[in-house]
Structure 1
């Protein structure tokens, strides 16, 4: 066995190698111990073999934890440490209303799956999901004791309806594989040491001194935290300025907000912005929608906000939202239904009687009538042909002024991050800095609501962990 000398990595900023005999003979240990300022000394074992290496994972979220577990699975002798400034898996805990939307089970075709990523849809058409897709994710959790279910819209949740099932599973694997989890610590800077390894400056909360960690591999999986962007920049990467994605729309319409709680099963929403003149298909979305006390929300609106994230940011979150409340009916059909209803219920008040074909509630029907200026006592018999055309028009082209954005608290998703052009997606390794890897939302990737953002984390973490494990132990490869 070939032994290395003890390596001293001292928080004051210098790194040196001291022969073991010198350490025993001299008073170096005593003098260091008596230094005026407390310094942390990290000593590698005298019997450490030349093959032992360290992977440092910055970020204890879904991508970081999944990647660490995978790396340790492929290379059991690889030392792996996760450095997390807060609580590990905190986003997993709150996602999906505390249920954790693990992935989406309705996208078996990877080309279709890729189309759910406003940033990443072109790049993800390649090998990314072929290497580890939703089916692989579901299989992994199932094989590790988490029973899953797929709901009607494709969202996958643990049968327990609790994110704790996912967290407990991951943390159990962290412990079982021997991954070290260091919390309440932030990596404040990173550089390349003379020996080609990564030198991380780690700051512990409520501590006066920093510590240095020297790593052979570095996986940055910090989500939308600026910590990750800063580290990536220090290592030569380009950062695309992050802006919010997946948010609700604030609508200044007091009569509409009085309808808070009303939902629509299917509407077509189109976003019109002054700074976007060309036709962008993704700025029209179809799906369910919800009226809130500040405006509009629901899957259709959230998808629209994701695809329009950068356009909305540059427009100051001002624009027009045009909604078709009867997307399965042509405007002439809507007018025909209204005309038929008029003749059938001529003596009834318009407020009290309306066609059920539209699938809207009475409260919203009254809102439509109020917007068009129709009084509460008017009878259907008194409705002119122009009045019917007016109602049909607003049901098909109802326009709202977007006055700002709300916060979709379950997601915390951003558009922006490390440029995908600088990453090899089949390995998740940097094209700029060898042995540097990225996974998750730190990259310029974001998905629409429905489990797609977590799938990006699982896929990226798995690929990065696999690559690192194979580099650490090229002969060994544990596929499980």
Structure 2
């Protein structure tokens, strides 16, 4: 059984096993205190109707969770908002893009085109999802909050400082300014719902033996690929699509490839053929830059393949064949013609010193190619046979690499899987199974290719969820005020 489906003990059992001093009941904190210490007794007994403010607990202090908390608090200033994070806030934001933070993608603005960059979610996100808050809205928000952005040639958007701290500090400072309580080093171990429709969250502090209970009106789960989020979702009636890795590099069997470590190819066409899978998957053919590493192959083209083939690759134990066309813009007949012309023009030159510049290849790769064909680099072009030239042309157009496993893409970890999108309402991000329960970000079965798309999913989902909660809380407070005024008249 998957670990996230192993539900924690019942609330009653948890209480019996915990010293009574760890339980406390306090009134909801005011929005100005920033202590975030609203809680309840495990029985979930409510205060008198109308005596309390609305409250929200966001589980997960990543991009989606913090962005949602800011939006909810902006719309409903009287809403008590607490964000619980078991590690450090915005840790993925900090390390993304090599520490520069790839905020979003500026080349995919139209929702339909944007949705095509999500292997899981491309059909569901074609509707109004990105229309509610797309890349332009994200860029405008950060610019309005003092983070100047730049769009690079490939569409990736970064802060002009090239430092993720600009984005992290902006989000955390805005959350604190609004009165959002940010609580790190805590995790939610169980969730239940009272007969009045409020939640009971069992919160444990990692550094000391402390258990607390929170009793919010709304819960937003934005835990990324953490099992904590899957456990909460399962406890509240949701199914979980088993998570598998996405966005990773390929380990290649040929150890001689390590000699090319660091060589970059501006554009290649790569096609993945998986062991044991006969069906044709169009997305397993991709075009883009490729990088050779000391253990195999990486770069945008490989990462896109790993994303689109995440589930199939997992099923095949990350083994298959990768066919690479190193010069996709030149047909094989033209490749042969160029090689034969080069031979005629350089008959007295050594083959490892002169090669066709039309191919855009670096000398290290050309020499490696000759070695793979068993050719002596010191031989002259005049000695190059027609069979050798045809073999080199074929290798350039159809070089097959044996993939034997996966690597991890730096310290960033993206998963395919999570709560099915069909179990939430994308217009509000609210659960279809439990009222006032919301989801946003990677905890859902949505993941994008590399290039800022995963963060855009987080910003959009967080914005929609925060908007929904903020509006619901504001409406509820207005209704309570109206009732109190009528009673007092």
**What is the TM-score when the length of structure 2 is the normalising length?**
0.89
CA contact (8 A) 1:94 1:100 kept: yes
Correspondence for 2:22: 39
Tell me which residue corresponds to 1:22. none
The offset of 1:473, in angstroms, is 1.2
* DSSP 3-state at the match of 2:215: strand
1:232-263, Cα deviation, whole Å (9 max, x unpaired): 00001111111110000111212211110110
Question: What is the match of residue 230 of structure 1?
Answer: 231
Output the aligned Cα RMSD: 2.0
Kindly state the Cα deviation for residue 322 of structure 1 after the two structures are TM-superposed: 0.4
Aligned equivalents of 1:49, 1:366: Cα separation in 2: 78
Q: 1:89-125, CA deviations, whole angstroms, 9 ceiling, x for partnerless residues? A: 1111111111110000001211111111111111110
Q: Distance in 2 between matches of 1:456 and 1:229?
A: 18
| Match of residue 406 from structure 1 | 407
Provide the C-alpha distance between the structure 2 equivalents of 1:36 and 1:168, rounded to a whole number of angstroms: 38
1:285-434 map, 5 Å = 285-434=286-435
Partner of 1:195: 196
Deviation at 1:84, TM superposition (A): 0.7
Q: How far does residue 154 in structure 1 lie from its aligned partner after superposition? A: 0.6
For 1:40 and 1:142, the matched residues in 2 are separated by 44
Q: Secondary structure at the match of 1:44?
A: coil
Which residue in the other structure is 1:26 paired with?
none
CA distance, structure 1, for counterparts of residue 142 and residue 416 of structure 2: 28
Q: Is the 2:60–2:86 Cα contact (8 Å) retained in structure 1? A: yes
Residue 151 of structure 1 aligns with which residue? 152
Corresponding residue number in structure 2 for 1:443:
444
Look up the SS of the partner of 1:41 in the other structure.
coil
- Give the SS at the match of 1:467: helix
Q: Deviation of residue 61 (structure 1)?
A: 0.5
What count of residue pairs does the alignment treat as equivalent? Answer: 449
Q: 5+ residue gaps in structure 2? A: 1-10, 29-46, 479-489
TM-score, scaled relative to structure 1: 0.90
Question: Does the 8 A contact of 1:11 with 1:39 survive in 2?
Answer: no
- Write out aligned runs for 1:240-255 (5 A): 240-255=241-256
Is the 8 Å Cα contact of residues 185 and 207 (structure 2) preserved in structure 1?
no
Aligned-partner Cα distance in 1 for 2:70–2:118: 25
CA 1:53–1:13 in 2, change beyond 3 Å: closer, same or farther?
A: farther
Give the match for residue 175 of structure 1.
176
| Residue aligned with 2:113, SS | helix
Q: Which runs of no fewer than 5 residues in structure 1 stay unpaired?
A: 1-9, 15-34
1:386-414 CA-partner distances (Å, limit 9, x unpaired): 22111110000000000111110242111
Residue aligned with 1:55, SS: strand
1:161 corresponding residue in structure 2: 162
Query: Who is 1:21 aligned against?
Result: none
Aligned mates of 1:340, 1:230 — CA distance in 2: 65
Partner of 1:32: none
Can you list the C-alpha shifts for 1:251-280, whole angstroms capped at 9, x where unaligned? 121221111011000000110012321221
**Does structure 1 conserve the Cα–Cα contact (< 8 Å) formed by 2:54 and 2:477?**
no
Partner in structure 1 of residue 107 of structure 2: 106
